[in-house]
Structure 1
Amino acid sequence: MGGRKWSEQEDAVLREVSESDVTLLSQMHRLPGREWNSAKCRASKLGLALSNHVEWTEEERAVLREIWTSDMSIKVGMKRLPRRGYDAARSEAQRLGISGKRGRTGRIGYAFVKPAIIAALEKESPLRADQLAQITGATVRQIHKTLAAGRSTTFRVDDWSRKSTFGDPTACWALGAAPDAPRPARKPTHVSQKESAARMRVRAGRFNPFATLVSQVAA
């Protein structure tokens, strides 16, 4: 079932907001019982253009200060600001004069990524890029860029693993400046298919070790 129908008076409020310099958020008190997202959607249906600038609330600024001045992952912290993007958060932090390394970016992404990777690999290694992303809260892309920038000086490929039967080998990273472990050759398709079929037979309970032994002897 749909929600409460919008009245002509409510639509008139949205039109007034659209024609002025005020934000929709600041005028929500004129739309009692309505949510900001719902009002925004209604304005869109009416073809009304609203100001893109949404004033920061004191609650949002408090969360922003906590993110920027603590050891919290920015990716995790931004989930507490669902209406804000990273660029908007960084601009607001600069406007408020909030200092902290968490808010700075470098050539290869957020400044916290490299220290976070080092801390993770000191506890456990080797680890794949996707595993490091889960541990640190950074994106896989940020992890890859940071590892590439520090390759052969801070990070090295310690081993290789395959996440699937037909996939290419995936690098497993560790700390160190030693040469990377040799990359294994990609498995031929017919070998991968044969191994996959054998595993399926085992799971289906149709594996006969004696038949396999006979075929090997006959060969």
Structure 2
Amino acid sequence: MTRKWNKWTPEEDALLRELWASDVKMDVIASHFPNRQHFTVYEHARRVLGLPQRRIPQPFDDVLSWRLISAQLQKAPATAKALADATGLKHSTVAGLLKNRHGRLVFISGYVRHTTRCLPVRVWALGNGRDAHKPRALTATERKRRYMKKLRKKEPERIDAWAAKVRVRKQMKSGELVRRDPAAAWIGTTTHQTAP
């Protein structure tokens, strides 16, 4: 089945130009053209009509949120999670605002390792400084070594039990440890005497 393409009329182009110059959201502009998709309206405005990139003022909530975040960053550099906890904002909101202002108002002053996954987490600071070098992620062996070291401090008896199991397994594989057959142990070592 062939699709019928609807050409843009001069009236639609004029309406699009008028709406594009206003401060309304793109969803509202697209709703004025019910037979066209959101992306189609945007592409027609930018590519065919040559309209400039839209500069929509920030919502008032973003301005207030940024003020809260920048007040916390003036005290000390912090991670996005720490900023979210301190300001009461959602983590996704804080991360989005930091990402949008990265390179202009904030920079990455360093990295800390995430406690459970050992991934480097960004530490943000105010200013237009140079970003810190991102450390490489830990390998599986390094993560296990860190975990075992932490476990050795917290639960040494658990480590000892685990090490004993490993030793027994290793001895069994190498043939150094021979386990008796439970059936043979049950029979025992009694000798049968025969009658003369």
TM class, shorter-length: 0.3 to 0.5
TM-score relative to the length of structure 1: 0.43
* Structure of larger gyration radius: 2
TM-score relative to the length of structure 2: 0.48
